[in-house]
Amino acid sequence: MTAGEIVERIKKNLGSPWRDTTYRDTFKFGGAETTVTGIATTVFVSIEVIQRAAAAGLNMIIPHEDTYWNDRDDTTIVSRDPLYAQKVELMRKHDIVVFRIHDHMHSQRPDFTYVGSARDVGLESRYETAPGSHRFVIPETTLESLAGEVKRRTGARALRVVGDPKAKVSRVQLGVGYATPAINVPDVDVVISGEQQEADGGFDSPAYVLDAVTLGVTKGWIMLGHAISEEAGMLEMAAWIKGFVPEVPVQLVKAGEPFWAPK
Amino acid sequence: MTDLTRRQFAALTAATVAAPLTLVRSPYAAPAVSAGDVVERIRKGIGVDWKAETVDTLKAGDAATAVTGVVTTALASMAILRQAVDAGANMIVTCEPTFYARSDARTPPAGRGGRGGAGAAAPDPPPPPPPADPIYTAKNAYIDKHKLVIFRLSEHWKLRRPEPFAAGLAAALGWTKLLAAGDASRYAISAASLERVAADVKKRLGSRGGIRVVGDPKTEVRSAGLLPGSTPIAAALDLLPGVDLVVAGEVREWESVEYARDVVFSGQRKGLILVGRIVSEEGGMNACASWLSSIVPEVRVRHLPAGDPYWRPA
């Protein structure tokens, strides 16, 4: 079967019309005519992911994020670096086809990035205030112990936290990737998300939480990192695709956390 | 004159000579410098054309306020405002916003901070204004009570050459004398493993949980480039190919982090250390304090670091 047929089935099964205006959800390498031997879902098309997918006999990669180190996958920005040519040559050699699913994944219900991240960090659905609210009221704990639990479950080595470790928290708002909810919502103690600009943005949560700590107001901010935050949901994505593409193997090939933390 | 002993005469002469200096240093007799004067001196003296559209403006306080002391910092946090007041300074020059957004307004941004949250349907009729935000309220009250003046200085300070944020970060890292290229961005450091350099960077910058590294800990690095503040992929593409290590403040993870990950996996012996935006800018704001001292000699100017906002659970 071809990559084009698989993309058609994805579009048909989404439950909402496909928007051709997206620059994100398009072929990034190879095309519709490529014969597919197996599908790898992942968060980032790293060189390592390409090698591991190829070794597992999976030549179609369906990532949530970009391939060429910028959101628009504008190759003119990166093509002067020899690593770009190396990456392209590696994909050509293994007859790889890359089709990104980002915008439509976030507009799908449920949005698998939230489902996967909630599962990964241990926010159980019985604590969610309403389906799709991404807001959880968990048994009271401290920010330190919540962050420790999130670190243990996700395996995130370079997780970052702002807030008073001893603060008692129970109301958690989950965000994913770069879609970090603002921390100044009155009935939210903690935001857990992937990545957010540290300052000079739409809302600078680190600075707000620092001031909350100084003023004795309970607020906490747990940043998982972009890859950890959104990769979990690519497991749900793989299971969903498997449901309507029974002809070839479909599996998650993890890009994993790119960071480590010095002692 | 005959009534005066030699010693008395000498003492009197010394006092007369010293008098003008004493007067200048006295808070009672010194000609007051207003916050507006300080801003004017910055605009005139910074050495780059002042932009018509800029974030470098007064964010709080009255320009007519007589300045008692100036504090520079990467982030005018509540803790920094308190430290400034404790130190007798009423003017704060900050690199980053005071009110949690680029808009830097003294009230919460419209549409944020209300109830509803992600995924909630837009209510109809339009929602009422968000409830008073206790953090904004308390910070504003503190600023008003202590008659503080807050000025943001970011875009224009960055345009000076050598680039003060890179030079300041290098100074904080102890690399100033190791400058390798004509600008302030490249350094020839003593060869060491990425792991050791990262531990040293962490120690020198006073990092807590904000420091993150990409690369093999055992890779030996001997050249380093600096990207303080927030930088796009183009900056990493320009710098990393020519050095073993880049020390950056903040980058987009889907850009420079993934690029560095691919660089390392492809076999290049390189690394990327992210220290966080605010931590990366303190060196530049320390340099800013020295410069401000030279153009505002009437009052004391000091740098107070906002510190690493992050910690990491065990």
From first to last of the 314 residues of chain B, give the pLDDT tens digit: 344 444 444 444 443 444 444 444 445 555 799 999 999 999 999 999 999 999 999 999 999 999 999 999 999 999 999 999 999 999 999 999 999 999 999 998 765 443 333 334 444 555 566 678 999 999 999 999 999 999 999 999 999 999 999 999 999 999 999 999 768 999 999 999 999 999 999 999 999 999 999 999 999 999 999 999 999 999 999 999 999 999 999 999 999 999 999 999 999 999 999 999 999 999 999 999 999 999 999 999 999 999 999 999 98
In order, the DSSP letters of A38-96 are -EEEESS--HHHHHHHHHTT--EEEESS-SSSSTT--HHHHTTSHHHHHHHHHHHHTT-
Chain B residues with CB inside 8 Å of A133's CB? 117-120
The SS3 of residue B190 is: strand
With 0-12 / 13-18 / 19 or more C-beta atoms within 10 angstroms meaning exposed / middle / buried, residue B26 is exposed
Q: Looking at the partner chain, which of A77, A78, A203 has a beta carbon nearest the beta carbon of B112? A: A203
Q: Give the global pTM.
A: 0.92
Element counts in chain A: helices (H) and strands (E): 10, 10
User: Which among B154, B173, B204, B253 is the top mutation candidate for probing chain A, defined by the most A β-carbons within 10 Å of its own β-carbon?
Assistant: B253
Q: Are strands B186-193 and B220-231 parallel, antiparallel or unpaired?
A: antiparallel
Cβ separation of B230 and A200 shorter than 8 Å? yes
Beta carbons of A81 and B202 less than 8 Å apart: no
Nearest C-alpha neighbor of A261 from the set B311, B189, B221, B251: B311
Phi, psi of A248 (to 5 degrees): -130, 155
The helix or strand, by DSSP H or E, that contains position B92, with its residue range, turns out to be strand B91-94
- Name residue A191's beta-bridge partners: A173, A221
* B255: Cα separation from own chain's centroid: 24
Per-residue pLDDT at B35: 98
ipTM over 0.95: yes
First to last CA, chain B: 78
| End-to-end CA gap in chain A | 49
Q: Which parts of chain A have pLDDT scores under 70?
A: none
Which among A81, A179, A184 has the least Cβ separation from residue B135?
A184
Task: Report residue B7 as tokens.
Answer: 């010693």
Q: What is the structure's pLDDT at B135?
A: 97
Q: Which residues of A96-119 are buried (b: 16+ CB within 10 A; e: fewer)?
A: bbbbbbbebbbebeebbbbbbbbb
Residues in B 54-113 with any Cβ partner in A closer than 8 A:
55, 75, 77-79, 82, 96-97, 100-102, 108-109, 112-113
CA distance B8 to chain A (A): 55
- Can you give the pLDDT at residue B124? 52
Assess B185–A contact: CB distance below 8 Å, yes or no: no
Cα–Cα dist A51/B252, whole Å: 24
* Closest residue in A to B82 (Cα–Cα): A214
How does DSSP assign B229-264, residue by residue?
A: EEE-HHHHHHHGGGSSEEEEEEE-IIIIIHHHHHHH
- Strands A220-223 and A190-193 turn out to be parallel
**Closest chain B residue to A185 measured between Cα atoms?**
B113
Query: How far A163 CA sits from the closest chain B CA (Å)?
Result: 8
